[in-house]
């Protein structure tokens, strides 16, 4: 294609701005305040936007290991943090800082038993005792699932997991090497290597993440040339490059658990995992769960993520969504602004109640009879006839917790992809709703 004059002008402006100012992306972090800290635990509260008061339940963003917290605050105009704050949502983040060689003895128990539970309590206390909506990406979503299953006493209002593979056998990057993992007797090469290194160092983590999107890296130069006139596109590339450059290391023992339990044994595929002398069962999760899969995600493909849905049999409501983007793009890509974030907004609004779930359950039980009172007043309008009586009977028979899902259930079937044509996300991807 021959570029138009306005495209040439825009491209020249982008090149000049990059040369003179070092880039196009606005990489300023959203302002935040530290409210709690501990060993590999820093809990931040993002400051409210000017003129936008905070309302409703707080949101706690749960980062994965190795990936920087930049995943939630990639750049201005493409930051989930900025989006939530601009909506007046009290927004918090748990960050693990830099993992060092001295942290090599820490296992997954540290995050499931200490880091995340303490962060949830700190956020709820800071937000006047409200229930906390967890939003976890990748391994952060796995941590959130395990904590919600293990600790029903925590003030968790709802759970959102994005790109969290539960069935590792369905991850193409892992499938070719899995048959080779059990060929050797005793400590294998991988085990000896991570023990000697005290974990997985940052360069290897960066390489592994880049390998998942090797095709995009190879075609990147051509893509840059083709989009020289697209400021937003080029800014996004800069922000993703910065994200990759800030990868951190995996602690040795934690990586060992992930390697042996997830990669070799696919331990979570049945919904249960042994940890700290006990077994955590995902079926014990009672809070509502929203699950996202990216339609081009190579690290956590759709089948690997969707495998968690039937395991959440105890959840009040489960909703499954397919959105455009790869592993990072589904969370904070340019398309996420009108897809993933919109669904998260609706989900949090739907399950916001202002009090922690344990209190809310008791309150709901006490208030349930009060809902019948309006139905008893119906005889004053006897003119409506038998239909009103039928409606009253149906209202009495319907379980209380199903009422919140009725409207959503009308939107889609339990497993179909793109089952809501009125809200599909165009040719880039589709939406899937799965409700229990």
User: Which of the four pLDDT bands, split at 50, 70 and 90, describes residue 112?
Assistant: very high
**pLDDT for 338:** 96
Which CATH fold topology does 5-357 show? Rossmann fold (3.40.50)
Please tell me the predicted confidence (pLDDT) of residue 393: 45
Give backbone dihedrals phi and psi of 134, rounded to 5 degrees, phi first: -85, 135
Once rounded to an integer, what is the mean pLDDT over residues 281-287? Answer: 97
Question: Of all residues in the chain, what percent carry a pLDDT higher than 90?
Answer: 50
Residue 374, SS3? helix
Q: Record the pTM.
A: 0.75
Tens digit of pLDDT for each residue in 169-203? 888 776 555 554 554 444 555 555 444 444 444 55
Provide the CA 372 distance to its chain's centre, in angstroms. 37
The band of 4, judged by pLDDT with boundaries at 50, 70 and 90, is confident
pLDDT in the model for residue 7: 82
Digit-coded pLDDT (tens) for 147-167: 999 999 999 999 999 999 999
- On the question of pLDDT at 436 being above 80, the answer is no
- Which residue, among 93, 109, 108, 104, has the nearest Cα to 37 in the 3D structure? 93
Q: Please, are residues 32 and 98 in contact by the beta-carbon 8 Å criterion?
A: no
Residue 294 carries which DSSP code? E
Q: If you average pLDDT over residues 59-85, what whole number do you get?
A: 95
For residue 316, give both structure tokens. Answer: 């009040």
The better pLDDT of the pair 359, 233 is held by 233
Q: Band of the pLDDT at 215, cuts 50, 70, 90?
A: low
Pair 328, 243: CB distance under 8 Å: yes
Determine which of 13-22, 79-88, 235-244, 277-286 has the lowest per-residue pLDDT on average.
13-22
Secondary-structure percent of the chain, ordered helix, strand, coil, rounded to 5:
50, 15, 35
């Amino acid at each position: 294609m021959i570029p138009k004059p306005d495209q040439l002008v825009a491209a020249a402006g982008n090149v000049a701005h990059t040369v003179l100012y070092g880039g196009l992306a606005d990489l300023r972090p959203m302002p935040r305040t530290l409210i709690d800290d501990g060993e590999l635990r820093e809990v931040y509260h993002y400051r409210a936007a000017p003129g936008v008061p905070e309302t409703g339940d707080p949101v706690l963003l749960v980062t994965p290991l190795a990936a920087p917290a930049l995943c939630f605050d990639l750049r201005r105009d493409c930051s989930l943090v900025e989006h939530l704050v601009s909506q007046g949502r009290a927004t918090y983040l748990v960050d693990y800082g830099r993992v060092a060689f001295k942290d090599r003895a820490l296992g997954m128990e540290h995050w499931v038993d200490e880091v995340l539970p303490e962060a949830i309590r700190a956020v709820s206390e800071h937000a006047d005792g409200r229930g906390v909506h967890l939003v976890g990406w990748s391994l952060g979503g796995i941590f959130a699932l395990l904590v919600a299953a293990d600790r029903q006493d925590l003030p968790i209002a709802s759970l959102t997991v994005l790109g969290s593979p539960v069935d590792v056998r369905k991850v193409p990057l892992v499938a070719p090497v899995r048959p080779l993992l059990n060929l050797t007797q005793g400590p294998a090469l991988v085990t000896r290597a991570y023990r000697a290194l005290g974990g997985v160092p940052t360069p290897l983590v960066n390489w592994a993440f880049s390998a998942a999107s090797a095709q995009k890296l190879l075609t990147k130069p051509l893509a840059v040339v083709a989009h020289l006139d697209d400021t937003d596109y080029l800014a996004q590339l800069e922000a993703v490059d910065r994200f990759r450059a800030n990868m951190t290391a995996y602690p040795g023992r934690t990586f060992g658990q992930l390697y042996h339990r997830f990669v070799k044994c696919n331990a979570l595929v049945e919904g249960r995992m042994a940890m700290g002398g006990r077994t955590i069962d995902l079926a014990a999760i009672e809070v509502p769960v929203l699950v996202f899969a990216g339609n081009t995600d190579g690290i956590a493909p759709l089948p690997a993520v969707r495998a968690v849905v039937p395991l959440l049999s105890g959840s009040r409501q489960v909703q499954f969504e397919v959105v455009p983007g790869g592993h990072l793009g589904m969370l904070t890509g340019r398309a996420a602004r009108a897809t993933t974030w919109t669904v998260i907004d609706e989900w949090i609004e739907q399950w916001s109640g202002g009090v922690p779930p344990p209190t809310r359950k008791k309150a709901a039980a006490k208030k349930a009879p009060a809902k019948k009172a309006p139905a008893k007043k119906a005889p004053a309008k006897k003119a409506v006839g038998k239909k009103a009586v039928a409606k009253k009977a149906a209202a009495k028979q319907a379980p209380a917790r199903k009422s919140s899902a009725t409207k959503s259930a009308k939107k889609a079937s339990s497993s179909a992809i793109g089952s809501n044509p009125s809200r599909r996300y165009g040719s880039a991807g589709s939406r899937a709703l799965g409700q229990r």
